[in-house]
Amino acid sequence: MALHNSPSHVDTAGLPGLASASRADKSLRHVPELDSLRGVAALVVLLNHFHLAWLVAGAPAWLQHFRVNPLLWLLVDGHASVMLFFMLSGFVLMLPHLRGSGQSYPIFVVRRILRIYPTFWAALAFAALLCACFTGKASIGHANAVNWSSPPDVTSLWQHALLLLPVDIYRYDNPVWSLVHEARISLIFPLLAFAALRLGLPSTLALAALCSVLSPMALAHFEHALPATMHMTAWSYTLQYCGIFLLGAALARRREAAVALLDRLPRYGRAALLGGALLLYLYPVPGWHLLERGDLCCAVGAGVLLTFFLRRCGTPARLLRLRPVHFLGKISYSLYLVHLPVFMALCALLPQRLPFPWVFPLFLVVSLVAATLLHRLVEVPSIALSRKAGKFVWPAAVQTWTIPVRPKAAGESLPDHLLYLPPARAKRDGRFLRSGV
């Protein structure tokens, strides 16, 4: 969701000890607020693309306030929303490790493929069809001046469909850049989960910071020849986003301790922490940059904000539990994928003299309808199929693989050991537990 990342049901899990078994059972329940949060983030991405196109079309002076006012920028900060998607993905993918639900690596990969690819392929076909119809046509505010600059071709389509190679993100559907990183990181996520379980919080933050520092250096040395339109899907940036997935996994491991810490703070302490988290989350505000990229600061802020939502109390949490907002969360992955092709097509179809702001109501309604159809026709069946993935993977792969992990500290929400050594060794060593991704 990636966005995205692909949204999924979010559970929380904990094993704080026999004395708090009832609390552990409660923590295994679904947290609808986090699903809804994905929907809000997808809506912010939609608003961001409309905001940028309006600026190009000649927006009024007051719209410039969105780029300098932090609270207004929060409504259109699409890039920060994607960092939130990555944090949520790391959080969600880590939970099965903590629940102790056994699953092999092949099954994990098959499930991730079924969760991400079918919906993306349908959205890609939709975008390619619209691109073929409207390539080179004039649009309101020149919205397709960069996107859809040439008709579809077989080579670019299969490169996009693979979701692993660097691609021109303006070719069909701009949000593809985040899905490329999501797909790559999914293949190595068990290693990130292992690191999240083995490392302490300072070491985890240091490793995430190292990934963020090395990423632009790798881009400059190894991928400098990439066209500018492919930079966002460079392999080097996947390294940076690995650090954000790692932070999400580390938060999942420490979620109960983090929530307990917030509960112990006085009200003014929580207010100060919330303000600091918002400042970090809004670090990519234009003009605020002290470094080339503020994604890591944004991710840390997103992690603190997620902890507040995990408390499941207060006005924001109640708003996220509203049925319309929760529905937005259910269709967030589909909305993230289809909104930009819809916007481009509308800009090409509507009369050129139409004032640009008048496009927005139609853009929002058509995007929600298209996202709902994609969700029900493709995404829901692919989710159901991914849950049955174990039946279609070779029997030998169904065995659980394990990795030894240091014993948990007192009160730590962590099973005694994690996965990924051969099952034969796990069977010989009684200390190993079944777990999975």
Closest CA relative to residue 120, chosen from 285, 252, 2, 242: 2
pLDDT of residue 391: 63
**Residue 333: which of 200, 178, 137, 207 has the closest Cα?**
178
| pLDDT value for 430 | 38
Higher pLDDT, 143 or 427: 143
Q: Is the pLDDT of residue 310 over 50?
A: yes
Picking from 113, 95, 100, 104, the residue whose alpha carbon sits closest to that of residue 390 is 104
Whether residue 271 lies inside any domain: the answer is yes
Could you report the per-residue pLDDT of 234-255, keeping only the tens digit for each? 999 999 999 999 999 999 999 9
Residue 79 or 67, more confident:
79
Nearest-angstrom CA–CA distance, 300 and 66: 23
Per mean pLDDT, which of 2-6, 274-278, 421-425 is the most reliable? 274-278
pLDDT tens, position by position, 80-103: 999 999 999 999 999 887 876 657
Question: Does the residue 407 lie in any domain?
Answer: no
Residue with the larger pLDDT of the pair 215 and 431: 215
- The answer to the question of residue 133 being in a domain is yes
Number of domains making up the chain: 1
pLDDT > 70 in the chain, percent: 76
405 within a domain of the structure (yes/no): no
Domain that holds residue 187: 18-399
Assess if residue 143 is contained within a domain: yes
pLDDT value of residue 31: 76
Residue 430: inside a domain, yes or no? no
| Angle of CA points 320, 321, 323, to nearest 5° | 105
- The pLDDT value given to residue 367: 97
370: how many CB neighbours lie within 10 A of its CB?
21
Residue 433 inside a domain? The answer is: no
Alpha-carbon distance of 229 to 235, in angstroms, equals 14
Is the pLDDT at 339 greater than 60? The verdict is yes
pLDDT for position 143: 60
Flag whether 61 is in a domain. yes
Name the amino acid, one letter, at 433. Answer: L
Put simply, whether the predicted model's pTM sits higher than 0.75 gets the answer: yes
